[in-house]
Amino acid sequence: MMSINGVQYHIEVHGKGTPILLLHGFTGDNSTWDELLPYLENYRTIAVDLLGHGRTDTPDNPDRYQIEHAIEDLKAIIDELNTEEVYLLGYSMGGRLALAFSAAYPERVKALILESSSPGLKTEEERKQRVAGDEKLAGMIVDKGLKDFVDYWENIPLFSSQKQLPISKQKEIRQNRLSQNPLGLANSLRGMGTGRQPDYWEELRNLPMEMLFITGELDSKFCRIAEEMQAKAKNAIFEKVDGAGHALHVEEPEKFGTIVREFLKNT
C-alpha cells in the first residue's frame, strides 16, 4: 500500500527495466493485467488499483474521484517510485485517465497506449445525458446491491463478445466484479464517469508522444472513436483485433500482448 494525497493506494510492481504504468477499467483492478505480464517481462510493470476499486481506499465523497484528482494521484505515485517517465497503458476508464494524465504531464509519458477508450464527449448535452445515466447506475449499485448490478452490467451489449469466453473465465470476471466495493463503484461513476470528464479531443493534436489505439473489431463504437482519434493525433497507430470486443486484453490476450510488446519495442 502507498499513501497518496491522503488515500491508501494498492499497487503491484513487477520486474525491472523501463516502467510501464497499467490502468484498469471500471469494475476491474490490477489483476486484469495478469495475462499481459509475460509479454512485458523486459519492463517494470506498475499496476494500480484505481480509487474505489480493488484494495485501494473508497472515499465517501464522490468529488475525490474526479479525474483532475486522479491525475495528481498518478503523478504522486510515479514520483514516489522515483520514476521520471513511464510508458502508459489504459483500458476503457483507465484509458480516459491515461489520456488525461498525458495531456496534463506530457513530459512524464514516453508513449501512450489506449485500449477501447475515448477522449470524452464533445457536447454539454451529451455530458448531461451521460451524467444522468451514470447517476442511475450508481443508484442501482447502492440501492439494489452489487449482485443485481453485476447481473445487469455483464449483459450490456458492450460485453456481449465475452459470452464466447470459456465458462471458467466468465466466472473469474464475474467474481472479480462481485469482489468490488459498491460505494467505490458508485462514487467512481459519480466522480469520474465519462460525463464528468473534460473533453480531450483537441488535446490529441498537441500530444508529442507516440500513441497506439487498440480496439476489438466487434466493438464498432470504439473502433469508430479510435479511427477519429487517430485522424486528430500527430503520432498515432490504430490496431483493430479480429474476433474481439471491448476487453480485448481479456478476450485475445496473446494478440493483445504481442501488439503491445511490438509497439513498445519500436518506440
Is the CATH code 3.40.50.1820 the one for domain 2-121+198-265? yes
Q: Strand, helix or coil at 13?
A: strand
pLDDT attached to residue 71: 98
pLDDT attached to residue 49: 98
Q: Write out the three cell numbers for 100.
A: 488525461
Task: Give CA–CA dist 230/44, Å, rounded.
Answer: 28
Low-confidence residues of the chain: pLDDT under 70: none
Residues 6+ apart with CB under 8 A from 232: 201, 202, 204, 205
CB 69 within 8 A of CB 5: yes
**Residues in a beta bridge with 46:** 13, 21
Entry pTM: 0.96
